[in-house]
Structure 1
Amino acid sequence: MASASEDTRDRVWSRVFSFAINTTETHQPSSTPPVSESREAHLAILLVSKYFNRLALPYLYEYPKLVGRSAALMAAQLLKRPELGSFIKILSMRHVATDIHLHLISSAMNLREFRGIESDHLSPEHFKALGLAAGSCLQRLSFNFSRGDVSVSLFARFTELRELIVSPSTANFIPDTASNIVLSKLHTLHVGPVYQDTSFIHAFSVIQLPALRTLRIEFYTVNADAIIEFFNAHGSALTHLSIKFSYELLSNLKLFDVCPGLVEVEFPESVSYSDSAPLTRETLTCATPHKSLVKVVMFSDMIADPDDLDPAMFPALREIQIQACKWPTTEREISKSDWVPLAEAWLKQGIRLTDSDGQHWVPRVKRARGR
């Protein structure tokens, strides 16, 4: 490329190094990084020339592997060369409680994703440092909060946040300036589990979330006021919902009335604290027809009687997926199966019952005609 411009050479070699080092994913930053070559092999690339070093160095630091003593070594390196912190795009930490980790967080001023949901609990001090360093560019954030008081004003710095995964159950959230906070790009929120302390739910009921479309929440408390407050504030914008809750809560939550735009709703396993069916006729009733709901996902059969769901109230509903469903394969199994009559009952209402793979039941008569 002797005749190519410097800009062209830089772009071509940078692309080559992005594949050669490949410490993280460019297009899917939230997925598990691919297995890459050893760090020694990556360092060898940097030692070829000053030109290679300049172009390849950002990819080496893009997603540092902080295991064992590597966190301390990385922090020491950043003390000597603070500019290297600007190359860090993803931080994944299993330990976040020390000054070393505080320094690493504070140095990552161009961070796009912080993965800490499986780590020790994040203190308000570390969370504040994260916002100061990377709040204007962080897009995906997952962590556990530590015990203590957390000012909701700390969230105001995360102006580019698209996805938030948080376990808030041990912290007390103080909504001091919550009404002034607008997380304008937050599209996906995962919350849970929430037990007796519902301060996070209350605080985020006041925060403005105009882009919120997907919510996954685990809510295990009889405090219906908090969850109703949240859905009254944000339910109208939701298109996808996954919710675990106690049975006693359902009669107080008119889910389909406060979430008129839902396209898909999921009720995962272990949602009931009683022997009664958690999805009753009252739960499945709405004041006016719900015209958006296309699919309902359940772990087990939570609708005791298909007649409890009026298809006229859900004119767009086409599929009920039950993950525990297993279709029979022999005549003997068919005669004993509880899924077959249930599937045929739903089919009469124009709704397909599908298993975990999305396969629906085909009645035997139709199969014979198809042959």
Structure 2
Amino acid sequence: MSDHSLPDEIISEILSPALKIPDEVFCDTSDVSPFAKYSESTSAYLLVCKSWLRVATPLLYNTVVLRSKAQAKALSVILSGNEQLGQFIKKLRVEGGYGLPMHIILKCTPNVSDLFLSLEIYSSDNTNGLCKGLALINPARLILRDIEHLENKTVSQLSDALSKSITKWDRLCVFECSFPGQAVRAKKIVSSLTKSKLLHTVVVTEAYCLSWVYSKLKGCPLKVFRIKRQLGHRDRSYIPDNPVLMRLLKFTETPDVRNDNRALDPFFELPLIPPYLNTSFIPMASAPKEVHDRILARILYFALTVSEVANPIHRKLSLLLRIGLPYYYAQTTLANSSATSGFVSVLLKTPSLGPHVRSLDIQYPTQDSSGSIVVILSQTPALVRFYGYNSSNIGSNTLRKRPGISWAAFEALVKYSGSTLRECQVDVGAPSASASATIFDNLTALRILTYGSRTAFVDVANADGLPNLEELQISSGIPSLLAVLSQMELKSLRRVALLGDATGRGSETFIKVHGEKLTQLDIPHKILGTLNNKIFELCPNLRSLLLLACTPMQNPPAVDTLYSPRAVPSLIKLTFSLPYFHCDKHLIPAWERFFLEFEPKCLPNLREIENRVFRWPTSEREIKKSCWVRWAEMLSKRGIDLTDGAGTKWRPRLKVK
């Protein structure tokens, strides 16, 4: 059989983008490390085949990032057993002390050219290995991260060893730092750099470090002095009036400063466009009127249907006005009462525009005392989407309470656009008297409804009401609303969120009637304890269940409320949106008890539990203290991933045995 394998050079070009760490990421000195991510390790590429292992190993070891003691120990063992691997390491980022293994690592990596060290080291850390090993390397670039400026014996030992080693490094020509000020160790490290007189590039994070760092290093053969963070108006005051420094200085400015400079600097002006030589040329002069109109209509469609378009069309361009107005108003947003009044005038003056309006978004509180909204809705009979308030997304327990549209406006919406409306998010003011439940009969195309109202309904609802409704969110309402919805078949309903005060009497009846067809349910977890039946008995086909907190600092639900006498194979994800803060120590025993007792034998396919109100810790110190890490590893043994509010699942880290 012929050999169809690729040459190593081609494989290297393919794998390099996946394994290479960008330099700006490697030298990032932000508060949170850019490597504090819980994604699949790039070392997995080495397991694909032998050729990938052979080619990818040098690429993988070119840049090494150490973020825990276990990683440092594992790397020291690997390098001790294979000295050749240490030759590949060119960039080394060390985000802690990590004990004696660091001495072995530095001893085995003589080719390190870029060294990143974090001076944010706690007294419990051990820097002995790092201190001993610094003299064994000779980097060309040094990056220091020292934002919090911790003071303890351990970090003092490291800064002393670093200052001593810098004087012996004869290749060091680039220095980057994030010192918060003129601290003792910062001055000591910078002074040791002055003695070597080799630096040609200096990078500081903030502008306020510029003066004192330059005053210490001006004796070096500097070529570039760069400020990493963008400069605002206030930062310009930190730049000294020094012509020598200004020739070296490199920085970028925030957009507001750049715009100010652009207005003052003639070099920022746009180039002049030369006039067209044929002044009598008329575009498409020989084309038929139908072709003429269709081409312009297509151009204006793309220009005027984007949200950024805010400038009115010039009135003198009658052709563009005639063709473009329908596209301009197809997606209309009313940000204030002035915009509403103007839109009313446009519709009354040009009634033919009304049927072209497909989406209407009212972004300000309105009680419609003038009746303007009713007029608009009566003139726009083909709405597909209507947003009557800043609604929350399905699944969120944070609702922005604000005055809704009047009941008369809602009646107009249903009357004129009921057959075309597919999505409606609205908070409706209650009428002076009870309303008829048959109003929902006209919403024959509606698929998504987010509804809040104190309206009391009378009459019996039509069982065929809302035939295409797939997603329902009720943010507020009295029991008669749930009673009306319980009388409907709602054959297409799949996703439901009962939020706010919409979870009182009538919620159990609604869930009993429609529970079997639901695949997603969002409810306050207090409801679980009030149901006569278990939630999975009422909703046996759920794929996702979201439990919300109605008040802060609520305990997790009781485990038995999530029990089912029959298996529920459909459930894949369980989500909690229950506020949890590190200061709420009294909640830890309740969560501990929940995760210990939660053995979901009735949920054989549950793969994920998400808690939306916390994020995974980003440092080794925080990880040690985190109870959520402990619970995540407890659940992983049962085949369940615990994810944070960003949807990131916890990945177990290396541990020191």
The TM-score with structure 2 as length reference comes to 0.49
**Corresponding residue number in structure 2 for 1:133:** 416
| Residue pair 2:414, 2:442 contacting (<8 A) in 1 also | yes
3-state SS in 1 of match to 2:559: coil
Deviation of 1:109 after TM superposition, in Å, equals 0.6
**Corresponding residue number in structure 2 for 1:115:** 387
**Corresponding residue number in structure 1 for 2:255:** none
| Residue pair 2:293, 2:323 contacting (<8 A) in 1 also | yes
| Residue pair 2:430, 2:455 contacting (<8 A) in 1 also | yes
Deviation of 1:113 after TM superposition, in Å, equals 1.4
Are residue 61 (structure 1) and residue 329 (structure 2) matched? yes
Deviation of 1:89 after TM superposition, in Å, equals 1.5
Give the whole-Å Cα distance in 1 for the aligned partners of 2:489 and 2:503: 25
Q: 1:245 to 1:349 in 2, by over 3 A?
A: closer
| Residue pair 1:285, 1:309 contacting (<8 A) in 2 also | no
**Corresponding residue number in structure 1 for 2:348:** 79
Match of 1:185 among 461, 468, 475: 468
What is the number of residues matched between the two proteins? 346
Match of 1:14 among 284, 291, 297: 297
Give the whole-Å Cα distance in 2 for the aligned partners of 1:188 and 1:5: 47
**Corresponding residue number in structure 2 for 1:152:** 437
Query: Identity percentage over the alignment?
Result: 29
3-state SS in 2 of match to 1:334: helix
Are residue 36 (structure 1) and residue 309 (structure 2) matched? yes
Give the whole-Å Cα distance in 2 for the aligned partners of 1:340 and 1:18: 51
Give the whole-Å Cα distance in 2 for the aligned partners of 1:110 and 1:320: 42
* 1:196-232 Cα distance to aligned partner (Å, 9 max, x none): x2111111111221111111211548845x1111111
Deviation of 1:165 after TM superposition, in Å, equals 0.8
Give the whole-Å Cα distance in 1 for the aligned partners of 2:310 and 2:503: 51
**Corresponding residue number in structure 2 for 1:267:** 547
Deviation of 1:360 after TM superposition, in Å, equals 2.2
**Corresponding residue number in structure 2 for 1:28:** none
Are residue 287 (structure 1) and residue 571 (structure 2) matched? no
Give the whole-Å Cα distance in 2 for the aligned partners of 1:274 and 1:334: 23
Give the whole-Å Cα distance in 1 for the aligned partners of 2:631 and 2:556: 18
**Corresponding residue number in structure 2 for 1:213:** 494
Q: What amino acid is the match of 1:210?
A: K
Q: What amino acid is the match of 2:325?
A: L
Q: 1:84 to 1:331 in 2, by over 3 A?
A: closer
Give the whole-Å Cα distance in 1 for the aligned partners of 2:596 and 2:356: 58
Q: Which has the higher contact order (CA 8 A, sep 6+)?
A: 1
Give the whole-Å Cα distance in 2 for the aligned partners of 1:208 and 1:286: 25
Give the whole-Å Cα distance in 2 for the aligned partners of 1:113 and 1:136: 12
Give the whole-Å Cα distance in 1 for the aligned partners of 2:325 and 2:615: 51
Query: Which moved further from structure 2: 64-73 or 206-215?
Result: 64-73
Q: 1:341 to 1:250 in 2, by over 3 A?
A: farther
Q: 1:15 to 1:261 in 2, by over 3 A?
A: farther
Give the whole-Å Cα distance in 1 for the aligned partners of 2:492 and 2:510: 15
Across the aligned residues of Structure 1 and Structure 2, the Cα RMSD in angstroms comes to 2.9
| Residue pair 1:127, 1:154 contacting (<8 A) in 2 also | no
Stretches of structure 2 that go unaligned for 5 or more consecutive residues are 1-283, 391-401, 581-589
* 1:280-311 Cα distance to aligned partner (Å, 9 max, x none): 12211112111111111113478542243333
* 1:88-112 Cα distance to aligned partner (Å, 9 max, x none): 1122233234322211111111111
**Corresponding residue number in structure 1 for 2:512:** 232
Q: What amino acid is the match of 1:159?
A: T
Give the whole-Å Cα distance in 2 for the aligned partners of 1:185 and 1:305: 39
Q: 1:7 to 1:233 in 2, by over 3 A?
A: farther
| Residue pair 1:267, 1:297 contacting (<8 A) in 2 also | yes
Match of 1:328 among 607, 614, 617: 617
Q: What amino acid is the match of 2:461?
A: A
Give the whole-Å Cα distance in 1 for the aligned partners of 2:508 and 2:595: 27
Q: 1:173 to 1:164 in 2, by over 3 A?
A: same
Give the whole-Å Cα distance in 2 for the aligned partners of 1:9 and 1:210: 47
Give the whole-Å Cα distance in 2 for the aligned partners of 1:186 and 1:134: 15
* 1:136-182 Cα distance to aligned partner (Å, 9 max, x none): 101111211222322211111111111111112x22122x2413333
Give the whole-Å Cα distance in 1 for the aligned partners of 2:481 and 2:385: 22
Q: 1:334 to 1:84 in 2, by over 3 A?
A: closer
**Corresponding residue number in structure 2 for 1:31:** none
Q: What amino acid is the match of 2:455?
A: A
| Residue pair 1:247, 1:273 contacting (<8 A) in 2 also | no
Q: 1:13 to 1:347 in 2, by over 3 A?
A: same
| Residue pair 2:476, 2:502 contacting (<8 A) in 1 also | no
| Residue pair 2:448, 2:472 contacting (<8 A) in 1 also | yes
Match of 1:316 among 582, 597, 605: 605
**Corresponding residue number in structure 2 for 1:203:** 484
Match of 1:106 among 373, 378, 381: 378
Q: What amino acid is the match of 1:306?
A: F
Query: Which moved further from structure 2: 153-162 or 80-89?
Result: 80-89
Greater Rg by CA: 2
| Residue pair 1:189, 1:216 contacting (<8 A) in 2 also | yes
**Corresponding residue number in structure 1 for 2:626:** 337
| Residue pair 2:463, 2:488 contacting (<8 A) in 1 also | yes
Deviation of 1:10 after TM superposition, in Å, equals 4.7
Stretches of structure 1 that go unaligned for 5 or more consecutive residues are 24-33
Query: Which moved further from structure 2: 59-68 or 259-268?
Result: 59-68
Q: What amino acid is the match of 2:451?
A: V
Give the whole-Å Cα distance in 1 for the aligned partners of 2:316 and 2:378: 28
Give the whole-Å Cα distance in 2 for the aligned partners of 1:167 and 1:179: 20
Are residue 171 (structure 1) and residue 455 (structure 2) matched? yes
Q: 1:139 to 1:4 in 2, by over 3 A?
A: farther
Q: 1:358 to 1:73 in 2, by over 3 A?
A: closer
Give the whole-Å Cα distance in 1 for the aligned partners of 2:511 and 2:650: 35
Deviation of 1:273 after TM superposition, in Å, equals 8.4
| Residue pair 2:475, 2:502 contacting (<8 A) in 1 also | no
**Corresponding residue number in structure 2 for 1:354:** 643
